[in-house]
Amino acid sequence: MKPHPTVDNKMAQWVQAEPLIDVVDQLDGPISMLRTVWLALRNPEANDTYGIRHCLEILENATDRVEKLQKETNAKVHEIVGKI
């Protein structure tokens, strides 16, 4: 028995979206870092020089990861557009 055409169409859409799903999955790390910094800065005990410097390091790491992901995403988009 053949799968319903709608099922095949949905699977094809998922295959095309896979690179973008990968990008969203990779954003989980930087988003978690930002949440951690936000929570730390809301804590009055963490607002000393060490805590603020540590938050800055985390923000720089998150920024670096997002920049790297942006470059990878742009490359994937150009690859996908090139196939069309």
pLDDT tens, residue by residue, 21-35: 777 888 899 999 999
Q: What is the pLDDT of residue 24?
A: 80
Inside any domain, residue 40: yes
Ranges in the chain, pLDDT < 50: none
Q: What is the count of structural domains for the chain? A: 1
Query: Taking Cα atoms as reference points, which of 12, 75, 51 lies closest to residue 59?
Result: 51
Inside any domain, residue 8: no
> What's the whole-model pTM score?
0.65
CA atoms of 80 and 59, how far apart (whole Å)? 31
Domain that holds residue 51: 28-83
Q: What is the pLDDT of residue 82?
A: 79
Inside any domain, residue 5: no
Query: Taking Cα atoms as reference points, which of 9, 4, 23 lies closest to residue 79?
Result: 23
Q: What is the pLDDT of residue 20?
A: 73
Q: Which two tokens stand for residue 70?
A: 């942006």
Four-point Cα dihedral 33, 38, 44, 46, nearest 10 = 20
